[in-house]
Structure 1
C-alpha cells in the first residue's frame, strides 16, 4: 500500500508517497522516510494519524508496533512532526549527575578559591560538612550507576535542549547548596540531629533503589506489556520512587539544617508532583477495569499523607 506524508500545515513531504506493507513495523516506515529525507533520523520522527472528527490530535504511531494495528489503508495520510535534535536519556542523566558531583567536589576541596576573604584563616571542615559531602557524593554516584545498570527507559532519546536545561538545574543547585554547606561560617546542628537525619536519609535511599529495581522489572523482556506497579511501597503509592527521593532529601535537610537544601527540595518536589500526577492519571486511564482490563487500585499519588 502507499501512504502519504504531510506536515501539520498540509504540505506534502514525500512526493508520490511511501510504498510499504501493512505488516511492516513503524520502524520500517521511519527507515523508508529517512531514505527520502536523510536529515530526519528515526528518533527525530513522529507520525500520527489524522484526527478523527471531534478530536484535536490523531493517534501516535508508536515504535515497536505494526502498521496493521492502526488500520491503515491505501492512500491514507499520516502527519509528520520533526522532534528536533535528540540525545540519549542515559547521556543526559550521566552529565547532569556527574556535573552535580564535580561542582560540589570543587567547592568542597577548593574552598580557598570560593571564599577568598577567609583564605588566611580557613578553619577545617566540621564533621557535619564532611558527612554532607559524603551523602551528596553517594546519592549522585548511585544515580549514575542506576542510569547504566538499572533503569530501562521507555523512550530512547529526548530533545537536545533537555541536556542544557537539566544540567543547568542540577549544576546550579549543586553550586547553591555546596556554597552554603561548605562556607567557613556554616554553623552545624548538634551531631545527634545530624546522625539521625542522615541515618533516615540512607534508609530512604535504599528504599528508592528497591523501587527502581521493581520499575525496571516491569520493562524486562519477559514482561507482557506494561503492568500495574506493585510490590513494596508501590502497593500504597503510585510514585513510590519519588516519595523515597523526597523524604531522603527532607531527612538530609534536617541533618544539615540549612535553607539552601530546603529550597532545593522544594523545587525538586514541585516538579516531581507534576510528573506523579501525570503518571497517576495515565495509569488510571490505562487500567480502567473495562473490557477485561484490571482496575487501578486506590493509592496515594506521591507523598502520603499529604498527596
Structure 2
C-alpha cells in the first residue's frame, strides 16, 4: 500500500540514503532523552562532554542569533540555488523547491527579526544541524529532479501537502511570535509561554514544524522525505520531552496538563 503513495526508488543507493537519514536524525532524538543534547537554547551548557572538551574549537560558544543564522542560512541558499541549477520542471518539482526554500527563508527572517535570545549555541551543534539541513535539501531536490519523468504515484498528495505545509509554516511562525513577546529586550530569563497552543503543549512550534515537514514530504512523495519526517518527529519528541522536564524543574507552578508536543497525548 505504501507504494501507492511514493515514487519508485531510482536506485538502491537512494533507499540506503533514506535509511541512513532516518537513523541519523532519530539518533539525536534518543540522545536528547538520555541527556546528550545538541547544545543550544536552554541546553547550551548541558552535555555530558561539555567539560572534557571545553578547549575544543567546536565547543566555542556563539550568540544564539549567529548560531541560528549558521544553521538556517546555508540551506536557504541551497534552496534558492536550486532554481538556478534546475530552472525548469513540472508542477511537483516547482512546489517542492518553493516549499523547502520558503521554510528556510522564514527561519532566517525569524532569526534576524523575530526571535529574542537567552543562552547561546555551541559551534559544533550549529555545524551539525546546518550540514544536515544542507545535505537533506540538496539531496531531496536533486532526487526529485531525477524522478520527474517517473510514473506518478497512484495517490497524488502534493496539493494536500501544500495545504499542510502552509498550516505548519503559519502555526510555527505564530508560536515563535508569541515566544518573542514573552519578555522585553532587556530581560534574559525564561518564562512559562502563554497563548495559542502553549496552554496544551510546551513546544507547539515543534508540532507545527513537524506539520510543515509532513507537508513537504507529501509534496515530494519520496521515501527519503517520509524517512526524514519520521526521524525529525522522533528528534522533536525527544527535544520537547526534555524541554518539558526542564520547565517542570524550573517552575513550581508549571501546569501538569500541559504536554510536551502533541495535545492530550505526549
TM-score after normalising by structure 1: 0.61
User: In angstroms, what is the RMSD of aligned CA positions?
Assistant: 3.0
Contact 1:176 1:260 (8 Å CA) reproduced: no
Q: Which runs of 5+ in 2 are unaligned?
A: 1-43, 46-53
1:151-175 CA-partner distances (Å, limit 9, x unpaired): 11211x3222223212211111112
SS in 2 for 1:176: helix
SS in 2 for 1:218: coil
1:151 alignment partner in structure 2: 115
Distance 2:150 2:70 in 1: 29
- Pick one of 106, 123, 130 that aligns with 1:167: 130
**Cα contact 2:158–2:218 (8 A) shared by 1:** yes
Select which of 223, 234, 240 maps to 1:259: 223
2:103 equivalent to 1:128: no
d(CA) in 1 for partners of 2:126, 2:168: 27
1:32-181 paired onto structure 2 within 5 Å: 84-111=59-86, 124-155=88-119, 157-181=120-144
Equivalent of 2:171, from 198, 207, 227?
207
What is the alpha-carbon distance in structure 1 between the residues aligned to residue 189 and residue 61 of structure 2?
A: 26
Contact 1:201 1:252 in 2 (8 A): yes
SS where residue 261 of structure 1 aligns?
A: helix
In the alignment, the residues of structure 2 paired with residue 138 and residue 111 of structure 1 have an alpha-carbon distance, to the nearest angstrom, of: 17
The one of the two structures with greater contact order (alpha-carbon pairs below 8 A, sep at least 6) is 2
Shift of 1:94: 1.9
* Distance 1:82-1:95 versus aligned 2 partners, 3 A rule: closer
Check if 1:197 corresponds to 2:161.
yes
Structure with a larger share of its residues in strand: 1
Q: 3-state DSSP class of the match of 2:258?
A: coil
Q: CA deviation at 1:135?
A: 1.1
**Number of aligned positions between the proteins:** 213
Runs of 4+ in 1 over 6 A off after TM superposition: none
Give 1:239 deviation, angstroms. 0.6
- Structure 2 residue 183 is the aligned partner of structure 1 residue 219: yes
Change (3 A) 1:163 1:249: closer
TM-score when scaled to structure 2? Answer: 0.70
